[in-house]
A and B are shown apart, each in its own frame.
Chain A
Amino acid sequence: KQEVTQIPAALSVPEGENLVLNCSFTDSAIYNLQWFRQDPGKGLTSLLLIQSSQREQTSGRLNASLDKSSGRSTLYIAASQPGDSATYLCAVAGSGGSNYKLTFGKGTLLTVNP
Chain B
Amino acid sequence: DGGITQSPKYLFRKEGQNVTLSCEQNLNHDAMYWYRQDPGQGLRLIYYSQIVNDFQKGDIAEGYSVSREKKESFPLTVTSAQKNPTAFYLCASSIEREQFFGPGTRLTVL
Contacts and interface: CB of A to CB of B under 8 A. Distances in A.
Contact of B42 (A45, A93, A99, A107): A107
Contact of A101 (B48, B102, B103, B106): B48
B27 to A, nearest CB: 12
A105 B42 contact: yes
Interface residues of A, number: 22
B41 A34 contact: no
Interface string B1-21: 000101000000000000000
B98 A46 contact: yes
B79 interface: no
A101 B34 CA distance: 11
Contacts of A49: 98
Nearest to B44: A104
A41 interface: yes
A46 B43 contact: no
Interface string A80-114: 00000000010101000001111011110000000
Contacts of B48: 100-101
Interface of A: 31-32, 34, 36, 41-46, 49, 89, 91, 93, 99-102, 104-107
Interface of B: 4, 6, 31, 40-43, 45, 48, 50, 58, 88, 90, 92, 94, 97-104, 106
27 contacts: A32-B98, A34-B98, A34-B99, A36-B101, A41-B104, A41-B106, A42-B103, A43-B90, A43-B101, A43-B103, A44-B90, A44-B101, A46-B99, A89-B42, A91-B43, A99-B97, A100-B48, A100-B94, A100-B97, A101-B45, A101-B48, A102-B99, A104-B42, A104-B43, A105-B42, A106-B40, A107-B42
